[in-house]
């Protein structure tokens, strides 16, 4: 604490998923907060009177990884204030604390839930699943065929995206979806992707893992010029890859543009040895912890019939590791990063940023089987399940 002049300067470190310190004791008077993000994803720092989180007295938004931001000087009276990061899922995962001004730590506003309150919160979340929200990401886009070329049209623009019921986040999206539309092609297809930029900044598209000519690699100032606001740019190539799971995303200001929603799945289709398939894209950061752009209980379930063979394509376009665990079933890992592998058996699979896995299992038992990240702060707290949780419903 810097006691020079009459302003108390308080330094706070934020990262996944805590504030350090989480309880601050100061005297009444003028205060300035200096907040450093030592985590890997973006965070925010809000200070508000107890129970009044909609009217913060300090609001430092969009603190990027490695960035330090300062608040204005505020006058704080003798009482207990709360602090939190209210990006979707972050507060629930533990990013909260208290500021005790002119009082003892015993007056902290941190309230321990009774087991009855905890049970009630857990039950409410489970009963709400799958909660309805506006918008659905990753919808398959149908191409227009022009002179034998499959043409896919994408528009990148800012939107408000509803991550969970009533929680809208300022986002960037392709065709109004987070994740963007799922592009499906076949080996040998001639493909054109037309990108219209309606963002307030330049952008590009990189087709992650796809075998392309250098000119179509999508990196500004290396293989192409940046696509300025209002411009349209065309990518054109022939699919040479064998069937597999790939993705596409912005490669300009990527830490923010991809985090805000500029990513999608790119599938090279082949012969199917399964009855039904699903795509599951893990996300972290601005939208909180998400599966296909939604946080539990707004995530979509995987609904299958008993004894069906199920393929799930798991992609990670976030910035963190996510060990995905399926209750009730072992599964075969049959492909990694768009290439077949010798199948091996798992029930938990760690998916790193940029990786893609295809898993296959037989839905041999009826029931509702949770499917979730096993970093527990990404999925569950005293307030119940949140974030990266869905379920395989076998009927």
| Residue keyed to tokens 């204005």 | 72
Which residues make Cβ contacts (< 8 Å) with residue 67, sequence separation at least 6?
36, 37
For 46, counting Cβ atoms within 10 Å of its Cβ (0-12 exposed, 13-18 middle, 19+ buried), the class is buried
- Residue 2 has a pLDDT of 43
Query: What is the rounded CA–CA span in Å between residue 255 and residue 72?
Result: 27
* pLDDT tens, position by position, 37-74: 998 888 999 999 877 777 899 999 989 889 999 999 99
Average pLDDT across the chain, whole number: 93
Question: Which of the residue ranges 100-109, 112-121, 226-235, 277-286 has the most confident prediction, judged by mean pLDDT?
Answer: 226-235
- Residue 78 has a pLDDT of 86
**Does 104 score more than 70 pLDDT?**
no
- Residue 1 has a pLDDT of 41
| Residue keyed to tokens 């296959």 | 360
Q: Do domains 132-269 and 272-395 have the same CATH topology?
A: yes
Average pLDDT over residues 15-36: 91
Structure tokens at 166: 């009533």
Cβ neighbours, 10 Å, residue 217: 18
Higher pLDDT, 135 or 101: 135
Which sequence spans correspond to the domains of the chain? 7-108, 132-269, 272-395
* pLDDT tens, position by position, 292-351: 999 999 999 999 999 999 999 999 999 899 999 999 999 999 999 999 999 999 999 999
- CATH superfamily of this structure's domain 132-269: Cupredoxins -  blue copper proteins (2.60.40.420)
Query: What is the rounded CA–CA span in Å between residue 308 and residue 365?
Result: 10
- Residue 201 has a pLDDT of 98
Q: How confident is the model at residue 222 (pLDDT cuts 50, 70, 90)?
A: very high
Q: Which of 125-139, 235-249, 373-387 has the lowest mean pLDDT?
A: 373-387
Q: Which of 51-55, 240-244, 269-273, 294-298 has the lowest mean pLDDT?
A: 51-55
Query: What is the rounded CA–CA span in Å between residue 209 and residue 212?
Result: 9
**Does 14 score more than 50 pLDDT?**
yes
**Does 284 score more than 80 pLDDT?**
yes
Q: Into which CATH architecture does domain 7-108 fall?
A: Sandwich (2.60)
Q: Which CATH class is domain 272-395?
A: mainly beta
Q: How confident is the model at residue 111 (pLDDT cuts 50, 70, 90)?
A: low
Q: Give percent of the chain above pLDDT 90.
A: 79
Dihedral, CA of residue 50, residue 54, residue 60 and residue 61, to nearest 10: 140
130, 297 Cβ separation under 8 angstroms:
yes
pTM of the model as a whole: 0.81
* pLDDT tens, position by position, 120-178: 989 999 999 999 999 999 999 999 999 999 999 999 999 999 999 998 999 999 999 99
Numbers of helices and strands, H then E, in the chain: 2, 32
Structure tokens at 7: 């302003």
Average pLDDT over residues 6-35: 91
- Residue 92 has a pLDDT of 79
- Residue 80 has a pLDDT of 85
C-alpha dihedral sign at 166, 169, 175, 181: negative
**Does 103 score more than 60 pLDDT?**
no
- Residue 141 has a pLDDT of 98
């Amino acid at each position: 604490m810097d006691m020079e002049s009459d302003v108390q300067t308080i330094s706070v470190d934020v990262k996944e998923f805590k504030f350090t310190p989480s309880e601050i004791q100061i005297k009444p008077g003028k205060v300035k907060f200096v907040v450093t993000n030592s985590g890997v994803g973006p965070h925010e720092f809000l200070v508000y009177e107890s129970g009044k989180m909609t009217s913060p007295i300090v609001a430092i938004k969009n603190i990027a990884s490695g960035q330090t931001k300062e608040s204005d000087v505020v006058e704080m009276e003798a009482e207990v204030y709360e602090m939190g990061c209210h990006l979707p899922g972050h507060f629930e995962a533990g990013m909260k604390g208290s500021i005790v001004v002119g009082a003892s730590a015993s007056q902290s506003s941190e309230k321990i839930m009774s087991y009855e309150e905890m049970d009630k919160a857990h039950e409410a979340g489970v009963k709400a699943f799958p909660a309805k929200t506006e918008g659905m990401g990753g919808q398959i886009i149908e191409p227009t065929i022009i002179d034998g070329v499959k043409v896919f049209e994408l528009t990148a623009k800012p939107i408000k995206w509803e991550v969970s019921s009533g929680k809208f986040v300022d986002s960037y999206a392709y065709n109004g979806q987070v994740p963007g539309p799922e592009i499906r092609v076949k080996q040998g297809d001639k493909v054109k992707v037309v990108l219209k930029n309606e963002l307030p900044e330049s952008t590009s598209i990189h087709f992650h893992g796809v075998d392309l000519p250098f000119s179509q690699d999508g990196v500004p100032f290396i293989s192409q010029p940046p696509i300025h606001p209002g411009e349209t740019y065309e990518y054109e190539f022939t699919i040479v890859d064998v069937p597999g799971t790939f993705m596409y995303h912005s490669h300009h200001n990527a830490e923010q543009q991809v985090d805000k929603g500029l990513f999608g799945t790119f599938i090279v289709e082949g012969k199917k040895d399964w009855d039904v398939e699903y795509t599951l894209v893990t996300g972290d950061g601005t939208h909180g912890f998400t599966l296909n752009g939604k946080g539990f209980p707004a995530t979509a379930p995987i609904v299958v019939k008993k004894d069906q063979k199920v393929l799930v394509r798991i992609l990670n376009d976030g910035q963190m590791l996510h060990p995905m665990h399926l209750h009730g079933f072992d599964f075969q890992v049959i492909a990694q990063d768009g290439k077949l592998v010798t199948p091996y058996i798992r029930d938990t699979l760690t998916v790193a940023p940029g990786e893609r896995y295809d898993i296959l299992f037989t839905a041999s038992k009826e029931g509702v089987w949770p499917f979730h990240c096993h970093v527990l702060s990404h999925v569950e707290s005293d307030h119940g399940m949140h974030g990266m949780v869905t379920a395989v419903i076998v009927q």
